[in-house]
Amino acid sequence: MKKYSIFFPFLFTLILLVVFAIPVKAADVQTVIFDTSNHYLGTCSYTDSTTWTLTEDLQVDLFQVWYKWNSGETELAFTVKKDGQDFLSGEVIRSQCDSYQTAWCNGDLKIDKVFPKGLYEAVVANPRQCSIPSGNGTVRLYKVETDSPSITVKTDQSTKSATKSAEVKETTATTTTQEYPESCEGFPNWIYFIYVSLGLSVILNIILSILILRKK
């Protein structure tokens, strides 16, 4: 048994590499691209309707309202009209809440829809939506992106941007470059876990080797 004990540190190193080499799932980053309340954080009155005007087309991934939920209420029906015509309907789901006034929570609905420029009106089923001092309700539109390294390759014909979410866009360009988010600094996050695991394994190998040699 003793003659095999020298291999234990190396087995431990292999286990660390297998565990830490598994890439960490990229987190979704939500970015507000339109907010009818202009980021209002004050006291709310109640309303059931919100109006707004878009001056440009927006790709929206998350539709959100700020609402005071009744006890046991988890879903809220709503409708959206654009220029007087039916545009969107569904139910928002109760999500993140205020830390102190826990009945006030977001109502979220994940969508994948272009909101063309125009006049909009959203109506919720119960008049408990936050109304800002102007009397308008609170609706936020989000763009959701995956926080992962991206590579942009530009050629004389087109620019092809490929991400881990498999989105590809093409536009005209003239040079060839590679771009990465600043937070990643050109390396996937899981590479740093490998560095950490290697460092730990070296230290443990030294300690275990010393203990084994002393026993001999």
Mean pLDDT of each 10-residue bin along the chain, 216 residues long:
56 62 66 96 96 97 98 98 98 97 97 98 98 97 74 42 38 38 43 68 78 71
Residue with tokens 């691209």: 33
Output phi, psi for 68, to 5 deg: -95, 110
State residue 16's pLDDT score.
60
Closest listed residue to residue 58, CA positions, set 170, 176, 139, 150:
139
**Nearest-5° Cα angle at 103, 100 to 105:** 90
State residue 156's pLDDT score.
45
For the chain, domains (ranges, CATH) are: 1-23+188-216 (no CATH), 28-146 (2.60.120), 150-181 (no CATH)
| Overall size of the chain counted in residues | 216
- What are the Cα distances from residue 95, in Å, to 40, 74, 92, 110, 129? 19, 8, 9, 12, 14
Output the pTM of the full model: 0.59
**What is the token pair recorded at 35?**
């907010």
Q: Is 41 helix (H, G, I), strand (E, B) or coil?
A: coil
**Nearest-5° Cα angle at 116, 141 to 140:** 10
